[in-house]
Amino acid sequence: MSSPLGPSDRVVDYTTRFATFLADEVAPIEEALAARSVGTPWQPVLDEAGRMHPEVWEARREVQRRSAAAGLFNPHISSDVGGGGFSRVEMQHVEEFVYSSSGLGLGLAALAWTENASPAIERCSPEARERFLQPLLDGTITGAFCNTEPSVGTDVLAMDTHARRDGSDWLVSGTKAWITNSHFADVLQVTAVTDPGAGTRSLSMFLIDAGDKGFTRGRDIPTMLGDGLTGELHFDEVRVPAEHVVGEPGDGFGLAMSWINWRRMCRGGMCAGWGSWLRDRAVARAKKRHSGGKPIAELQAVQHLLADIDTDVYTARAMSLQAQSELDALGPFAQPLHPDAPRLISMIKVVNDESFFRVADNALQVHGGTGLLQGSPEEKLFRLARNLKIPAGTVEIQRNAIARGVLRPA
């Protein structure tokens, strides 16, 4: 009997088509990129301003456009606005397949990520849908989610960026920092204070065209990821028409959480995919590398590393699938969100962030000095795993949400 948590027929269809797409469409672009000596999306050569090399960026963009044309780019978006309408359980299977089959390759760009369409902006006006959402779905433009500021991260409601009314328009001012895709984004999804003191109703979300007067890109913020994608953005009285407010004024906090929760839930498939990829690489290395005249795979010390990797991947994957299925029943992107949902979403994030960090650490250890080689997959994913515990809400904040859920009156 097939498991209700197993891959559905349309997931099987998706992954079959994705595998063909990787071989037929992505591999030639990847080969051409390798010949250019500009690095890869995960280890790009940076330009003089510290930003991802434009040729690497363009290779990713080409994959995104082709993936959209092949109907592979947006399975996570509702079918009524042109996406695949996949559930969270289905998306975990899709993400796991994409990450395990792509490794650190260009294929990862073929599935929408933080710079592409998110469930949070599906609630935009018909005009904004045509101007921003449809091109995001088509892969013809990219975006950035702009919530964090130089002095405000976790404490979202303390943000300085604000918007004031001017007739039916809004004027948005402030500085956002630590923003992924800040250098290239065509559309900015910006949260700003519109009703100071109104708590979770104090923010609104705006869609801002990067060509608009008053918007400027700031400095690059180099992180341990070394991908040249993170930076600052400045808004100086940028005029935004009422139809570019997502949802209603005052919905911004809920919509920002929806975007952040999307990224948190994606950890399940991402860490299962990369985790199994690292496990398979560690097993292969342990069978091939010799010490004392025999493969290190025969040493109990190394076997225990492999056992811990396997157990971490299995438990995080199983827990996440169960939580995604409960979230599917509650409505993972409902506004307002069901009060039982944040606990489950935060469990997915904290369990995956912490188990994947152990997986990456143990996998690197199996590879010995080779694992420390700059640019090796193990070294890269170790740095990435360390990074995961901070963006989209720190692991401490996830524990706060889980505790709130546990302590909530029945």
Ligand X SMILES: Cc1cc2nc3c(=O)[nH]c(=O)nc-3n(C[C@H](O)[C@H](O)[C@H](O)COP(=O)(O)OP(=O)(O)OC[C@H]3O[C@@H](n4cnc5c(N)ncnc54)[C@H](O)[C@@H]3O)c2cc1C
Query: By the criterion CB under 6 A, which residues form the site for ligand X?
Result: 114, 145-148, 153-154, 178-180, 223, 225, 230, 387, 390-394, 396-397, 400
Please check whether residue 152 is in contact with residue 141, taking contact to mean a CB–CB distance below 8 angstroms: no
Cβ atoms of 345 and 326 closer than 8 Å: no
How far apart are CB 151 and ligand X at their closest, in Å?
8
Rounded to a whole number of angstroms, the minimum distance from the CB of residue 206 to ligand X is 14
Q: For residue 50, give both structure tokens.
A: 């510290």
Per the listing, tokens 């796991």 go with 96
The distance of closest approach from Cβ of residue 181 to ligand X in the complex, given in angstroms and rounded to an integer, is 7
Q: Which amino acid is at 199?
A: G
Provide the minimum distance between the beta carbon of 218 and ligand X in the complex, in angstroms, as a whole number: 14
Alpha helices in 4-73 (DSSP H): 9-21, 27-34, 54-69
Q: How many Cβ atoms are within 10 Å of 262's Cβ, its own excluded?
A: 22
Chain residue whose CB lies nearest ligand X:
153
The nearest distance, CB 220 to ligand X, in angstroms, is 12
Q: Which CB sits closer to ligand X, 185 or 297?
A: 185
For residues 373, 375, 376 and 381, what is the CA-based torsion angle, rounded to 10 degrees? 110
The SS3 of residue 221 is coil
Cβ proximity to ligand X: between 84 and 393 the closer is 393
Which residue's CB is nearer to ligand X, number 45 or number 221? 221
Distance CA 63, CA 142 (A): 13
What are the backbone dihedrals phi and psi of residue 30, each rounded to the nearest 5 degrees, phi first?
A: -65, -40
Q: Compare residues 137 and 401 and give the one whose CB is closer to ligand X.
A: 401
Residue with tokens 């303390």: 158
Nearer to ligand X, 84 or 252 (CB): 252
- Please give the structure tokens belonging to residue 265: 């839930």
Contact 259, 191 (CB under 8 A): no
User: Which C-beta is closer to ligand X: that of 146 or that of 187?
Assistant: 146
Q: How far is the CB of 265 from ligand X (least distance, A)?
A: 16
Residues 6+ apart with CB under 8 A from 200: 157, 253, 254
For the bound state, the minimum distance from the C-beta of residue 391 to ligand X, rounded and expressed in Å, comes to: 4
Taking the complex as a whole, how short is the minimal distance between the CB of residue 138 and ligand X, in angstroms? 21
Structure tokens at 35: 């010949």
Q: Is the dihedral angle over the CA atoms 299, 301, 307, 309 positive or is it negative? A: negative
The C-alpha angle 317, 319, 321, rounded to 5 degrees, equals: 70
Q: Which residue(s) pair with 191 in the sheet? A: 205
Q: Among residues 122 and 232, whose Cβ is nearest to ligand X?
A: 232
Which tokens is 149 given?
A: 């500021």
Q: Smaller CB distance to ligand X: residue 40 or 189?
A: 189
